[in-house]
Structure 1
Amino acid sequence: MQYQWAEDDFHLPAGVFRLGLAEPESGRTYIMYHGTTRQAAQSILATGFRRSKGGMLGPGVYLTRDLEKASRYPIDHPVWDRVVIRVKVNVGKVIIINHQGHQLQKCWQHYGYDSAWVPPMCGMVKSGLEENCVWDPNRIDIIDTIKPQPVPRHGACGDMW
């Protein structure tokens, strides 16, 4: 069965900006996404996000502005059991980490930064898509969840089969 990730994302909450491809501006609030399993999503909805113990950018909450990227997570997990959590994030003070081995790649949070951003196509992420890491989960407000919808199968004349 095939799935699609339907979303109406045209109406943004007041004071929230669309991240786009440009770097996030410090102090702004953006719409972002977090891909996870249905069970983990229930836990996050009940108790909020928790900082990971590690990752490419060290500990934090990993997010992206790209719904397609978020919908791939967890990788190698069945699509029907995935959920994307849509959030608004006040990014605070942002650092750009644009290459592997950046001197603050895993310790940026100890230098006064609230978020780290990996630009698209900089060679750090295999997919070429951007990545965000937020140190303090209190900067993240959950808006809602997006679940994959089965794509109806149609015959040659538009009849479902």
Structure 2
Amino acid sequence: MNIKWAENNNLPSGVVRVEGPGPEDDKIYVMYHGTTSANARSILASGFRRSSGGMLGRGVYLSRDLEKASRYPIDHPEDDRVVIKVRVNVGKVKAINRQNHPLQKTWHDHGYDTAWVPPNCGMVKSGLEENCVWDPERITIIDTIKPKPIQAVVFSICSFT
């Protein structure tokens, strides 16, 4: 089945659109978290919780890039994926721009609220950005986005003689 992810371009009041090279300290951004339908129900009921680990250590993994979030969970059927659209106050941001960065998993211990992996820095296979937010209280759920079937367009070829 062909499907696509739809997103409304209306930003909530006070939210910054992704235009700069990375999230700036103390700004609010719309971000996305890709998950399964079951996990989305749990998050909507109880809120986000820090992961136990990952590329950037513990935290809530998000992206300002809908395309990136819509790929998760990887190797899970697309029709059971949900993207949760959120509003995030990023606080103090640390760019982690290479593997084995000295603060890759300890950024929070050094006073940062969000770790940001820039696009195309070699850390993420897709080349798309990633963010990890330490405190789930910085995250407000806006909405959920589900994949929608793409309408097939059928062309008929006629022969004129």
TM-score, with structure 1 as normaliser: 0.94
1:69 alignment counterpart: 68
Give the 5 Å matches for 1:44-123. Answer: 44-123=43-122
Find the aligned partners of 2:20 and 2:101 in 1 and give their Cα distance.
21
Q: Cα RMSD (Å) of the superposition?
A: 0.9
Find the aligned partners of 1:34 and 1:113 in 2 and give their Cα distance.
20
1:131 alignment counterpart: 130
2:6 alignment counterpart: 6
Percent of aligned pairs sharing the same letter: 67
Which 4+ residue blocks in structure 1 deviate beyond 4 angstroms? none
Residues 104-130 of structure 1: CA distance to partner in whole angstroms, max 9, x if unpaired?
A: 100110110000000001111111111
Q: Which amino acid aligns with 2:33?
A: H
Greater gyration radius: 2
Residues 37-81 of structure 1: CA distance to partner in whole angstroms, max 9, x if unpaired?
A: 001000000000000000000000000011111111000111100
Find the aligned partners of 2:72 and 2:38 in 1 and give their Cα distance.
13
Q: Which amino acid aligns with 2:65?
A: D
Q: CA deviation at 1:151?
A: 1.3
Structure 1, unaligned runs of 5 or more: none
TM-score, with structure 2 as normaliser: 0.94
Q: 1:64·1:70 contact (CA, 8 Å) conserved in 2?
A: yes
Q: 1:20·1:65 contact (CA, 8 Å) conserved in 2?
A: no
